[in-house]
Structure formats: C-alpha cells, structure tokens
Amino acid sequence: MQQLSLEKFEEASEIVKKVTQETKLIYSEYFSERYGNKIYFKPENMQRTGAYKVRGAYYKISQLTPEERSRGLITASAGNHAQGVAYAAKLAGVKATVVMPVSTPLIKVNRTKSYGAEVVLYGNVFDEACAHAYELADEHGYTFVHPFNDLEVATGQGSIAMEIIKELPTVDYILVPVGGGGLCTGVSTLAKLLNPKIKVIAVEPAGAACLKASLEAGEVTTVSKINTIADGTAVQTPGDKLFPYLQANVDHVITVDDSELTLSFLDMAENHKMIVENSGLLTVAALKHLDFKGKKVVSVLSGGNMDVLTMATVVQNGLMQRDRIFTVSVMLPDKPGQLAAVSSLIAKEQGNVIKLEHNVFANVNRTAGVELTITLESFGTEHKDQIIKALEAAGYCPVITKTNGIYM
C-alpha cells in the first residue's frame, strides 16, 4: 500500500490541471437548512467531458511509455470514463477504442465518438463490456486503461480531494459515489494522508452495493445481480487493487434506493438549477441518512451526463413520488354536464388537469355510470389530499390509480 503516495498525488494534481477546469465548491443553503449540516457540492458534473473521469484518464496516459501509447489504448466504460479516455487520448495524439454496454445512454456514446474514439457496444452491464475489452486488447495489442482498478487512475481521481481540502481545510466529511472504487480510493486515501481526522463516506446504489458486500465479507465480493438507474456505478465487483485502500480509508458506506435518486434530481434541478446524473446524485440522496449535525460536509457530484429521455423519466417519477402529479378515477352518471361539474370542482381547489380519459364501457349498463380518469398537478401531498376530500364531499368516490406515461 505504498504506491499511493502523497508525492504521486501532488504530481497528479499538477498534471490534471492542464486539462481540467476549476470546479469550486458550491455552498447549498437549501440542503444545509434541510439537514442541519453545512453542505457543499464539488460540481464535477460541470467538469470537461461532464464528469471527473478525465482526471484519472489523463494522469494515466501521462504515465505511459511511448511504446504503450503507440499500440493504442482500449478501455471499457458505462460512459464517463469512456469520454475521459477519449478526450485525454485526443490531447495526447493517441488512438483510443472504447467498449460500452449496450444500455449506455446515447448522449455518452455520441460524446465519446465526438472526441475521436472508436466505440464498440457490447454486453448488458459494465463487467461484460470489460471482459470483451480485454479480449480485444489481447487480439490487437492495445494498452488497456481500466476505468477504476488501476492505482494511477485512482491517483488522478484523488486530485478532487486535493482541491476540496485546499478550498475548505476544515471539511469534516466527504461523501463519494462508488461504482468500482477508483474515485473513492483516490479521494479517501489522499484525504487521510492530508488530514486523518476527515471522514470519508462511500455512497452506493442499493441495487449495486458491491463495496458494502465486500467490506462486510472482508474480501472482494461480486454481487450476483445489478438493478439500478445509476448506470455509472452499476458495477458488480470492486477493484481488487483498490480494495485494501478502501478498507483502510473509508469510514462508512451508505446505500440509497433508486427512488431517492429521482427525488434528488428534482431537488438539484429546482434549487440549484443543475443537471446531475443518477450516479452523481448518490451523495445528494445520502445527505438525509447522515446521523450527525453541525458538520462541514462536501458531496462530490461525480457527473452530469444524462440523456434527455432519462431525464424526462426521472422527472416524471419524482413528481409522482411527491404527489405533485397523480391520477384519480371517478364514476359519473352518463348524462350531460357531469364532466363540467368535476372540472369545475378541481379548478375551485386549484388543481391543474393534465389528461382526461372518459370510458363509457366501464359498465355494461352505461346509465349505471361511466369512468372518468383524471391526471392532474398539485402542490404536493397536502394539496392532493385536499382535492380528494373535495371529490369525496361531492359524492364522487375517487380512487387513486397508478400512473405510467403521464405525458403521453
């Protein structure tokens, strides 16, 4: 464990400055008041290529020999490391090939191509794409650049901790998203070297909690199934080269559910006007799980590369979770004026109708009633309950129904 030295971290921090842009800490008054800590964000979603990955990729390439560069590079990635390697390789004048899972968001695929890399889509998860990348490396003689299980890559990622501590020397906690562990290894190791009192909390999606499983087992462990919207951290096995550092330097692991990420997306968009991808939102979602108050906390927002379709889905689900959009059905007599009566009642309660479905075939005997399904906006749970009570008071017997594709 002597390879990750302070000297190397200092060297990496100077080298990555050549290709990164400054991402100064952002103090969040909204989250600080909400959770009782002084919350700062490290906005790597605003970094070049849209994520922190360019740091590790560029430092790794800077350490390669001319012979290793001449063979061309290959890597596997769910998107952000792909762009980091492609961008860094372009600056270094080196050919790059990237293997990405077929489920990778289109924006990440296209941006990787835009930096001049050849993209190969293979496998359903990162681990399958990575295995294929190794096969291509053997076949063509490429130099493999691992997205996380590489100490030089992790050293480059550690430059984030250097910047955080220089800007906020009295930081108490740093929250770091975890997939394979490269970012967390670099940040936690350097943080402990600079100030052992700093606590580092790793945050994983509950549907891909390979680090938590490994720490509990005391050895590198593979989780059998991946199920998370946080595609950038959908990794089954943490890096074996990194695990000793994670064991030594990570103070705690928090796991968050996908539903928490959708709500965090809304919070960041509405209160900070920032787009943060699902993996980058892990540390935002973790803030409510902290069991302390009055501390200085830095949440690393690892990336912001989210395609518009994913964004729309996340927004829809977040609004529904907060009861700001809901669907209700009522039975009406099949006679003129009933639709207008319901609409007037909802308008009086300040609900905003998005969509109506009028089903005259709900009963064989239409005179017994037709079904009206209404999707509408409210200000939240209290307002939703107010609308439901008003419908009940008018004798409509409203039934809340599950909503899918509400804008379709």
What are the pLDDT digits (tens) for 115-148? 999 999 999 877 789 899 999 999 999 999 998 9
Tell whether 104 and 229 lie within a shared domain: no
Q: Render pLDDT for 207-241 as a digit per residue (tens, 0 to 9).
A: 999 999 999 999 999 998 899 999 889 889 999 99
* Residue that finishes a domain, picked among 318, 350, 369: 318
**Is 390 within a domain?**
yes
Sheet holding 352-359, edge to edge: 352-359, 370-377, 325-332, 399-401
* Residue that finishes a domain, picked among 83, 115, 150: 150
Tell whether 35 and 60 lie within a shared domain: no
The answer to whether 17 is a known catalytic residue is no
* Domain interval for residue 211: 6-49+152-318
Tell whether 34 and 146 lie within a shared domain: no
Tell whether 17 and 122 lie within a shared domain: no
Residue in 8, 53, 199, 296 annotated catalytic: 53
Residue 136 one-letter amino acid: L
Q: Render pLDDT for 250-270 as a digit per residue (tens, 0 to 9).
A: 999 999 999 999 999 999 999
Tell whether 85 and 122 lie within a shared domain: yes
The answer to whether 288 is a known catalytic residue is no
pTM of the model: 0.88
Q: What is the percentage of the chain residues whose pLDDT exceeds 70?
A: 96
Tell whether 64 and 190 lie within a shared domain: no
Tell whether 214 and 195 lie within a shared domain: yes
**Is 407 within a domain?**
no
* pLDDT for 193: 97
- CB atoms under 10 Å from CB of 290, counted, come to 18
Contact of 371 with 331, CB cutoff 8 Å: yes
**Is 408 within a domain?**
no
* Residue that finishes a domain, picked among 150, 172, 205: 150
Tell whether 63 and 107 lie within a shared domain: yes
Tell whether 209 and 312 lie within a shared domain: yes
Confidence of residue 406 (pLDDT cuts 50, 70, 90): very low
Number of domains in the chain: 3
Tell whether 188 and 264 lie within a shared domain: yes
Tell whether 188 and 226 lie within a shared domain: yes
- As a whole number, the mean pLDDT across the chain is 92
**Is 229 within a domain?**
yes
Sheet holding 143-144, edge to edge: 118-121, 96-100, 73-76, 143-144
* pLDDT for 261: 96
Confidence of residue 1 (pLDDT cuts 50, 70, 90): very low
Residue in 28, 264, 302, 378 annotated catalytic: 302
Contact of 44 with 190, CB cutoff 8 Å: no
Angle formed by the axes of helices 159-167 and 53-62, nearest 10°: 120
